[in-house]
Amino acid sequence: MPIVAAVIYAGLFVVALLVSRNGACCGEQTIWASILTLPWSILSVVVLDAIDPSLTERAGMLALIPGALVNVAILYLLGRSWARRADAKDRRP
């Protein structure tokens, strides 16, 4: 079951990337992908700007991928721990 949550989140992130890749008519094109990768998207922008301010412009959407991977890992690990707890409760007499 934890893999399902991780796959659904990864799918939402890919859809957000595709939507922003095709471009929105107005405003920030990467807003949905940025929201999905919070709080890591903020951290990656700060780190990339500290290294080189033009790096965020060149990296663009690629800067959001590590944040998405961290969120997928967190979702999977939390889901796995909750599943283990539920199994332990079911085994108690």
Higher pLDDT, 24 or 1: 1
Q: Residue 79: is its pLDDT beyond 60?
A: yes
Interior/surface letters 40-49, b for 16+ CB within 10 angstroms, e for the rest: bbeebbeebe
Task: Say what the pTM is.
Answer: 0.73
**What's at 34, amino acid-wise?**
S
Residue range of the domain that includes 16: 2-91
Half-sphere exposure of 41 (CA within 13 A, CB side): 16
Q: Which of 11, 31, 29 is nearest to 21 (CA)?
A: 29
Q: Would you state the pLDDT for residue 22?
A: 65
Task: Give every CB contact of residue 19 below 8 A, 6+ residues apart in sequence.
Answer: 32
The 10s digit of each residue's pLDDT in 41-67 is: 788 778 877 787 777 677 777 778 888
The 10s digit of each residue's pLDDT in 20-42 is: 766 555 546 677 778 888 888 78
Q: Would you state the pLDDT for residue 43?
A: 82
Q: Would you state the pLDDT for residue 74?
A: 92
CA distance 23 to 37: 18
Q: Residue 77: is its pLDDT beyond 80?
A: yes
Q: How many domains does the chain have?
A: 1
Angstrom distances, CA of residue 87 to CA of 74, 80, 84, 90:
20, 10, 5, 5
